[in-house]
Structure 1
Amino acid sequence: MTVELALHCARVRYGPLEALHGVDLVCPSARITALLGRNGSGRTTVLRALAGMAPLSAGRVVWRGADVTGTPAQVRARRGMFLVPDRGAVFGGLTVAENLALSSRTRNEPTGTETNPLPYPALSALLPRHAATLSGGEQRMLAVTRALLSPARVLLLDEPTSGMSPAHAARTYALLAAATREGRTVVVAETALSAPLADVTCVVHELRRGTVAFSGEPAEPGAPR
């Protein structure tokens, strides 16, 4: 197994409070890794630590064997890491089409055309609308689409299916699974192991109060349900 990302004894503090207490975990290359846990468990902080948005107070972040603990978030982004946060993942003052143009790997041709279709067909009718006017589920579809259209090799997504219908949630994980078959690495944070996620997940890390309570595959004994 080739490891794309790893945390080693990672600690993160928010003022006087420690959110991660010496976390060790790995994310395999070209697979989906799920970070599971309730609100406050530390899963979002793990994503932010991997992306460089939450500096470590101790420990290391390793990306393809290189220590990037002190590498700023913007540098990690330029090297191929794309974070979709749980909030503020789209530019509300821009149209859907303008949001997509900022991330597209194929800037010479607009997305949403017959030869360059959108991952979610439902977005096609929304291209002229400002992102702030979309529903929560539509904004998540736009945010995931921005990540998929980007050239990034590592996609970090915090609750990517929040607000989506069951059908769109299933499509989201099918799209993310397809991205891994293209060689991209996907790390998602979710509260629980939903059916669409269970169908595609390779590795699960369950977090509880800033520590890893379980690491392994969904079918293993003790895996979160």
Structure 2
Amino acid sequence: MTVEIELRDARVRYGPLEALHGIALAVPAGALTVLTGRNGSGRTSVLRAIAGTVPLSAGRVVWRGTDVTGLPAHERARRGLCFVPDLRAVYDTLTVAENLGLAAPEGDFERVLEGFPALRPLLARRAGTLSGGEQRMLAVSRALLSPARVVLVDEPAQGLSPSVAARTYELLCALDAAVVVAEQRLPPGLPHSGRPVVVHELRRGSVVFSGEPAELPTPE
């Protein structure tokens, strides 16, 4: 598979703590890449390093053969990268419709309302008044509306019912983009629609497994 974006020997530090220890991780084009691991394993730091919201202390970020390590997050977004963090992913003071309008300025967000019908009666509500699950649906909708080539989503199913979580993954897998998600464990029911799925398990800032879902070792 063609590599869309990758980390090469990437290290990330938060003060004296090193969160990523020289990680090499490739994101294939047209695939769903799943980062799994417990809290503190480094999966969120991988997303942030790719998105450019945290700097590397060593290593490189390479996007389609171009070194973008020094490129700030907003420039990566302009080039076609969308990052949905696990926290503060919506604009609390704006309505649901206004949040969606930021991703679809022409107001064409009917397809996400078809995917998440629970958002339709909430269009006039301020995002800050929504439940955690409703905010997650709204945040993921931003990625679904984006024309991005790379979509990064931290815990897309957080706070969602199993049926809505499954629908969320169906919608993400239908995107014409390289999609990377971070979850504590492998979501059930993958893959969707025949899309290739690559799993990387992280532990204490290092990749301890890379492969297909069926090859993932059974937890002890």
Smaller-chain TM-score bracket: over 0.9
1:87 partnered with 2:83: no
**Secondary structure at the residue paired with 2:34?**
strand
Give the direction of change, closer, same or farther, for the CA distance of 1:164–1:221 in structure 2 (3 Å limit).
closer
Contact 1:31 1:185 in 2 (8 A): yes
Question: Residue 101 of structure 2 aligns with which residue?
Answer: 101
Give the direction of change, closer, same or farther, for the CA distance of 1:219–1:88 in structure 2 (3 Å limit).
same
Q: TM-score, normalised by structure 1?
A: 0.92
Give the direction of change, closer, same or farther, for the CA distance of 1:72–1:211 in structure 2 (3 Å limit).
same
**Secondary structure at the residue paired with 2:86?**
coil
Aligned residue runs from structure 1 range 74-153, under 5 A? 74-104=74-104, 107-112=105-110, 117-153=113-149
Q: Among the aligned pairs, what percent are the same residue? A: 63
Q: Which amino acid aligns with 1:204?
A: V
1:177 partnered with 2:173: yes
1:158 partnered with 2:154: yes
Give the whole-Å Cα distance in 2 for the aligned partners of 1:51 and 1:117.
27
**Secondary structure at the residue paired with 1:40?**
coil
Note the alpha carbon deviations across 1:105-151, whole angstroms, 9 max, x for none: xx334434xx8854311111110000011111110000000111112
Contact 2:109 2:145 in 1 (8 A): no
Contact 2:199 2:212 in 1 (8 A): yes
Question: Residue 219 of structure 1 aligns with which residue?
Answer: 214
Q: TM-score, normalised by structure 2?
A: 0.94
1:67 partnered with 2:60: no
1:192 partnered with 2:190: no
Question: Residue 10 of structure 2 aligns with which residue?
Answer: 10
Give the whole-Å Cα distance in 1 for the aligned partners of 2:219 and 2:61.
25
Equivalences, count: 218
**Secondary structure at the residue paired with 2:164?**
helix
Q: Which amino acid aligns with 1:222?
A: P
In the alignment, structure 2 segments of 5+ residues that lack a partner are none
In the alignment, structure 1 segments of 5+ residues that lack a partner are none
Aligned with residue 210 of structure 1, among 193, 205, 208 = 205
Give the whole-Å Cα distance in 2 for the aligned partners of 1:175 and 1:190.
17
Once superposed, what is the RMSD of the aligned Cα atoms?
A: 1.8
Contact 1:110 1:116 in 2 (8 A): no
